Amino acid sequence: MRDFMGKHVSQVDKYGHAVDVDGIRVLMSVLGSFRVYYAAHIDRVCVTVEGRPGRGDMSLQLTLEQAALLRDLVAAGIADAMAATLVEVPAELAAGGDAA
């Protein structure tokens, strides 16, 4: 689902603004490597972004439902990025013709 600005979100209100349905709202930028694992002793999916030294790390402890939602949001963002890089060439140009 998208908000009024076109960002992928889990839910929107009648005006198109993101709704905080799970009590988690984080806006940040992290440069690092992802690590994802299931911690059975707390019944959570743990997502850790290990940043560069001095830049800080980030970690999330998510329920299975939250983790699935995060996966879907990330997949939607990746699909958008891939679609934005595709360039369609008109058939006339691909065949060497003049498009004008």
In a domain, 76, yes or no: yes
| Cα separation, 39 vs 84, whole angstroms | 36
In a domain, 65, yes or no: yes
Number of domains in the chain: 1
* pLDDT tens digits in sequence order for the chain, 100 residues long: 777 767 777 777 888 777 776 655 555 666 778 889 999 999 999 988 887 776 667 888 999 999 998 898 889 888 888 888 877 766 666 666 555 5
In a domain, 42, yes or no: yes
Q: What is the pLDDT of residue 45?
A: 95
Q: What is the pLDDT of residue 12?
A: 78
Asked whether 31 and 52 are in contact (CB, 8 A), the reply is yes
Asked whether 59 and 48 are in contact (CB, 8 A), the reply is yes
